[in-house]
Structure 1
Amino acid sequence: MEDATIYINGVVGEDITLLDVIRQINSYSSFGTLNVHINSVGGDFNQGFAIYDYLVGLKSKHKVTTRATGDVMSIATVIYMAGEERYAENSAIKNFMLHLPWAEARGTAQDFKDYSSLLDKAEKDLKDFYVKNLKNVDEKTITNLLETDLFLNADEAFDLGIVTNLEIPFKAVAKFNINNNKEEKDNFMSKFEEKVNAIFNKLFPKAEKEIQDATGVTILFPDVEVGEEVEKGDKATIDGAPANGEYVMPDGSTYVFSDGELESITEAETTEEETTEEEVVAEAEEGEIISMEEIEKILQMLNKNITSIADLTEANNQLKMEIKNLKKSVGSDFNIDDEVEEKKGKKKKISRAAQIMRS
């Protein structure tokens, strides 16, 4: 039985919701292990716990693993801990973050009292969750840790019990043989440069938005800020190349790209019964009946077109006959059929050249 892989990317509650997660999982008819790839800075508190509860509920039938493929921050840490096994790449990058929930509010004094009560409950729920799931921490300890944003690398998150499985990002080398050939040196330096670039991208992230379709293809919008909505006309790349073609999103909508530009966004179609052949016939029977006069007009038009084609054929044959007679009168070697063949040959060569330019 195959494994299922789903993606939780972007802002929880905006870019990814519980419904999106359910849609991704329902795209598999059956599976054994569910692999959840997470790259999120957090988001809506209630949506995050709803996704966590849903994933935990699947454990009765499936094995659930989570993997940090980028940032795992705020409420995304709760979703991450739904995995029985939780993987992260061991590095110095602090891409895990815990903190107390916060909210933006406006309204009357009573509104703020209500918001305060809700926020107090959210804080207690979050503290209870961490006390239950982390290693050797009580409520006082977790409160002290969460009072300020607590940033952790994978190794620190492992010590705290967030991560269960550390992965080595690349094999370390004890020495570099200066006598290796140029190809091996270039390969080593290329991998080293990629690693350095990855570190700098983590430290100084670009203000660009990325989304993933239902199959995990990453689409990058370099001119769209994180948190902004993608719109028609936005530029996009896939694996460094301009985006082209159709991509179905986790929410069922379809993005259509052409030469790196988002041409259209088609919302998910609602389920409707397709029109059957019998319904089409019934509708045709209920429609207006074409009169015999209209049918005769159509037949006259078709006869006229057929007559025009016949006239053109006769004119062409007459032209060939006149050229042959002219050739005989002047003693020319000119041959109409040869000229036609020559033109056909040139046309084929031009078409082949055009094909090479397009490839």
Structure 2
Amino acid sequence: MRFFKFKNDKYNKMAEIPHQFKAETDGDTSKITIYGVIGSSWWDDSTSASDIERVLKDINSDTIHVHINSGGGDAFDGIAIYNQLKNHAAKVVIHVDGLAASAASIIAMAADELIMNTGSMLMIHEGSTFDWGTKTQFRKTLNALEGLDKSIAEVYMTRFKGECHEIDTMIVNETWFTADEAVEAGLADKVNKAEEESEEEEVSAEDFKNNVLARFKQKKADTEPNPMVASTNNNILERFKRPV
């Protein structure tokens, strides 16, 4: 028996992302929220490909916004969800709210527009599994894992700007991308950064230097005696001197 997943258990625990799955429609726009573990579960605490299939068949919106915050889970559920979103008639806009790691990063690749929110991250790595049996069985498992890694590399290559051997190495290395790095690599389209308003005008390096030097000059002028004042004081004192 084999159960394929990504090596993500420690990341699910690290992130401590509570399960949340819901779908809402408002006019021509729908919103799907996928938080927590990807895959099937006896305890209804994860989001499976069957869950996504169920909600997508009832969505006729022009645009679907998918919000993801997940450390990953079952590899093939992730691939199935990727294809379900990719094949839907609506425009799919995916927002990485916090983390899109492992199987969740595969889902993110289905976006027509992938937006990384401020501080979010994306992580890719090799698949993993557990198995028991003979050496022949383990060879079959190894072949299956190698095939899985090739499959997920093909998914990333639909967006990645580099070469296939580079994404293969990044998968083996377990690579984390910040929001900006994901955009630079082509894996995401843009970063949704909060607007920062500044009341201060941008000052060039030369203007900054001149402003500092002007302050120094003014300080020096304030501490030195005024020649005109000194001369006036001397004239007044001369009037009080007795003739010799």
- The question of a shared fold, defined as TM-score above 0.5 by the shorter chain, is answered with yes
**Aligned-partner SS, 2:35:** strand
Corresponding position of 1:36: 66
In the alignment, which residue of structure 2 is the partner of 1:17? 48
Following TM superposition, by how much is the alpha carbon of 1:90 offset from its aligned partner in structure 2, in angstroms?
3.3
**3-state SS in 2 of match to 1:96:** strand
Shift, 1:155, TM fit: 0.2
Q: Deviations over 1:230-273 (max 9, x none)?
A: xxxxxxxxxxxxxxxxxxxxxxxxxxxxxxxxxxxxxxxxxxxx
**For the structure 1 residues 124 and 2, does the alpha-carbon distance in structure 2 shift closer, same or farther, using more than 3 Å as the test?**
same
SS state at 1:171 partner: coil
The one-letter amino acid paired with 1:23 is R
Give structure 1 stretches of 5+ with no counterpart.
Answer: 176-359
Does residue 131 (structure 1) correspond to residue 195 (structure 2)? The answer is: no
Counterpart residue number, 1:145: 170
Cα displacement string for residues 274-318 of structure 1 (whole angstroms, at most 9, x for unaligned residues): xxxxxxxxxxxxxxxxxxxxxxxxxxxxxxxxxxxxxxxxxxxxx
Count of equivalent residues: 169
Cα distance in 1 for residues equivalent to 2:52 and 2:153: 25
Structure 1 runs (4+) greater than 4 angstroms displaced: none
The answer to whether the 8 A contact 1:90-1:155 is kept is no
Q: Distance in 2 between matches of 1:171 and 1:107?
A: 59
**Is 1:171 aligned to 2:196, yes or no?**
yes
* Deviation per residue, 1:145-172 (Å, 9 max, x gap): 2222111110000001111021113525
Mapped contact 1:4–1:25 kept (Cα < 8 A): no
The DSSP-based 3-state class of the residue aligned with 1:133 is coil
Q: Once the 2 structures are TM-superposed, how far is the Cα of residue 26 of structure 1 from its aligned partner?
A: 4.5
Partner of 1:88 in structure 2? 116
Give, as a single letter, the amino acid of the residue that structure 2 aligns with 1:19: S
CA distance in 2, matches of 1:172, 1:144: 40
- 2:68 is paired with a residue of what secondary structure? strand
Unaligned runs of 5+ residues in structure 2 are 1-26, 41-45, 201-244
Aligned to 2:11: none
Distance in 1, matches of 2:142 and 2:108, equals 27
Contact preservation (8 Å) 2:64, 2:90? yes
User: What SS does the corresponding residue of 2:132 show, helix, strand or coil?
Assistant: coil
Distance 1:5 1:38 in 2: 11
Q: What whole-Å deviation, never above 9, does each CA across 1:316-339 have from its counterpart, x for those lacking one?
A: xxxxxxxxxxxxxxxxxxxxxxxx
2:101 maps to 1:73: yes
CA distance in 2, matches of 1:66, 1:132: 15
Cα pair 2:123 2:177 within 8 Å, conserved: yes
1:82–1:132: structure 2 CA closer, same or farther, 3 Å change rule?
closer
* Residues 109, 155 of structure 2: 8 Å contact kept: no
- Does 1:110 find its partner at 2:141? no
Q: Percent identity?
A: 27
Q: Who is 1:54 aligned against?
A: 84
Amino acid at match of 1:141: E
Q: CA RMSD in A?
A: 1.8
